[in-house]
């Protein structure tokens, strides 16, 4: 379903860190899968996968060796950005721990895009999202677990053991929550859009300061199949600036500050509705709720004059971000000069969309905390919790746990709270009451 495929398509499973084992067929054939709350299908490589190298590096399902196999044969395809998993549907029993889900439809993948899954440490993916985003309208494993009466409560929960060495990773619990894995009570928020485990989220704070962008509300998805936290560039840039993360210098952003900075500031100070400012200065058009790009391609590059008069999608977006950044600075009673200097600095810290940002490992202790407002409660992440270390000793590198993802309205602005967040906060997926709960993980 193309309309619903975008989030799944953007997933970077390569960074996923937590895997579990399931069995398919009788006797059970074992597969290592990502338990992914951001998708809803189960797929594993098929023994009929001949032309994808990735299949030769992973376990493959052999239907001929299962006495409970049920032929289906309908073709299936899931898009993942760099290509797609394709194959056909089959049915068989699926073993999850001691439970056996009978007659589960799943995808036998006969083609996997080369680089994406070749190096992957997992064989397949077990989606724990809603049926609404299930490719082929197949009933997800989780629904059959509930339908077949295999669990007491229609709830599952994740505990990621962040402090573990490679090997011991945590636990997924079907049927409830394990009180040993969290402290205090969970804060629950309702699922706002069935499909993903999506809910409404409030402001994001850096240290004690509001970033403003989500003060009026943002959508968020609790996604166990994503490693990092992805959010709007406007906020990630501010985080990057505060933690000294590497970024991309945007000439378009700098051009907006140089040419329109004073004008934007003046409009903010004269109480102009912020969402209308970028259209009023001529960088966007106004669609009734916010500025949208005029849609003219930019001709700006290092050797050309930004004042040539042609504006780009990027300048509209940069203007919209500048408005948010300036609002925050005005709230802090900063002078006009220092505001423009600060925005200019931010223009040098723009994250590459869906990319990584490096930080100085020696500075981690002095970085601010970043907090998310969920259900009127604040969920804080300390720097040692949102900075990931790759490698050991002198070869160690540190990368930010935040990455940029700009999803336009009406679906966005959107945050994807991946393992970095779910590692700190034990997460309950309450299917019966359609809500998601968070409590500090132990």
Within positions 223 to 242, which residues make up the interface with other proteins, using CB under 8 A?
227, 233
Instruction: Quote the least distance from Cβ 167 to other proteins, whole Å.
Output: 6
* Three-state DSSP state, 67: coil
Does 250 contact other proteins by CB under 8 A?
A: yes
Question: Which residue number, 39 or 250, has a Cβ lying nearer to other proteins?
Answer: 250
Of 300, 304, 329, nearest in space to 314 by CA? 300
Distance CA 27, CA 100 (A): 11
Does 77 contact other proteins by CB under 8 A?
A: no
Of 26, 36, 402, nearest in space to 245 by CA? 402
Pick the stretch among 16-24, 62-70, 215-223, 434-442 that binds other proteins (CB under 8 A). 16-24
Does 101 contact other proteins by CB under 8 A?
A: no
Q: How, if at all, do strands 397-400 and 435-440 pair?
A: unpaired
Residues contacting 370, CB < 8 A, separation 6+: 204, 205, 206, 239, 380, 381, 386, 402
- Candidates 148, 200, 246, 298: give the one binding other proteins (CB under 8 A): 298
Which residues within the stretch 339-358 sit at the binding site for other proteins (CB under 8 A)? 350, 352-356
Does 24 contact other proteins by CB under 8 A?
A: no
Beta bridge partners of 353: 404
CB neighbours of residue 249 within 10 Å: 10
Distance CA 118, CA 115 (A): 5
Pick the stretch among 63-71, 162-170, 214-222, 430-438 that binds other proteins (CB under 8 A). 162-170
Distance CA 343, CA 323 (A): 10
Is 305 among the residues known to form the active site? no
Of 422, 5, 1, nearest in space to 223 by CA? 422
Does 97 contact other proteins by CB under 8 A?
A: yes
Instruction: Quote the least distance from Cβ 377 to other proteins, whole Å.
Output: 26
Which residues within the stretch 347-406 sit at the binding site for other proteins (CB under 8 A)? 350, 352-356, 388-391, 399, 405-406
Of 280, 365, 355, nearest in space to 319 by CA? 280
Q: How, if at all, do strands 155-160 and 170-174 pair?
A: antiparallel
Is 36 among the residues known to form the active site? yes
Catalytic residue, from 203, 223, 419, 430: name it: 223
Instruction: Quote the least distance from Cβ 405 to other proteins, whole Å.
Output: 8
- Candidates 164, 266, 296, 308: give the one binding other proteins (CB under 8 A): 164
Catalytic residue, from 36, 92, 105, 203: name it: 36
Which residues within the stretch 305-344 sit at the binding site for other proteins (CB under 8 A)? 312-314, 317-318
The catalytic site residues sit at 36, 223
């Amino acid at each position: 379903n193309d309309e619903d495929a975008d989030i799944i398509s953007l997933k970077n499973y390569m960074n996923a860190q937590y895997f579990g084992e399931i069995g398919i067929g009788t006797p059970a054939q074992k597969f290592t899968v990502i338990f992914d709350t951001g998708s809803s299908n189960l797929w594993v490589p098929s023994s009929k996968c001949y032309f994808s190298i990735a299949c030769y590096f992973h376990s493959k399902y052999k239907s001929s060796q299962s006495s409970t196999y049920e032929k289906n044969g309908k073709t299936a395809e899931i898009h993942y950005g760099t290509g797609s998993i394709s194959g056909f549907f089959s049915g068989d029993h699926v073993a999850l721990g001691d439970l056996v889900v009978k007659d589960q439809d799943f995808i036998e993948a006969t083609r996997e895009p080369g680089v994406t899954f070749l190096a992957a440490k997992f064989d397949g993916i077990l989606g724990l999202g809603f049926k609404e985003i299930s490719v082929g309208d197949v009933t997800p494993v989780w629904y059959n677990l509930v339908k077949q009466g295999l669990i007491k409560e229609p709830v599952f929960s994740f505990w990621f053991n962040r402090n573990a060495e490679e090997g011991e990773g945590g636990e997924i619990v079907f049927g409830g929550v394990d009180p040993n894995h969290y402290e205090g009570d969970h804060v629950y928020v309702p699922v706002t859009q069935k499909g993903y485990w999506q809910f409404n989220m409030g402001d994001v704070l850096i240290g004690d300061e509001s970033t403003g962008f989500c003060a009026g509300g943002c959508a968020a998805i609790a996604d166990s199949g994503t490693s990092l936290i992805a959010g709007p560039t406007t906020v990630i840039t501010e985080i990057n600036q505060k933690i000294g993360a590497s970024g991309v210098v945007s000439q378009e952003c700098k051009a907006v500050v140089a040419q329109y900075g004073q004008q934007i500031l003046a409009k903010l100070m004269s109480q102009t509705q912020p969402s209308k400012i970028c259209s009023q200065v001529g960088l966007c058009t106004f669609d009734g709720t916010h500025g949208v790009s005029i849609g003219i391609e930019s001709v700006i590059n290092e050797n050309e004059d930004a004042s040539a008069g042609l504006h780009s999608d990027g300048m509209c977006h940069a203007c919209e971000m500048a408005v948010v950044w300036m609002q925050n600075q005005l709230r802090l009673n900063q002078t006009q000069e220092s505001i423009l200097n600060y925005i200019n600095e931010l223009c040098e810290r723009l994250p590459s969309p869906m990319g990584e940002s490096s930080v100085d490992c020696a500075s981690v202790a002095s970085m601010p905390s970043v907090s998310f407002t969920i259900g009127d409660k604040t969920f804080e992440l300390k720097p040692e919790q949102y900075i990931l270390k790759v490698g050991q000793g002198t070869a160690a590198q540190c990368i930010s746990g935040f990455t940029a993802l700009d999803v336009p309205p009406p679906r966005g602005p959107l945050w994807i709270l991946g393992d970095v967040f779910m590692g700190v906060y034990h997460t309950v997926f309450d299917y019966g009451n359609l809500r998601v709960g968070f409590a500090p993980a132990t």
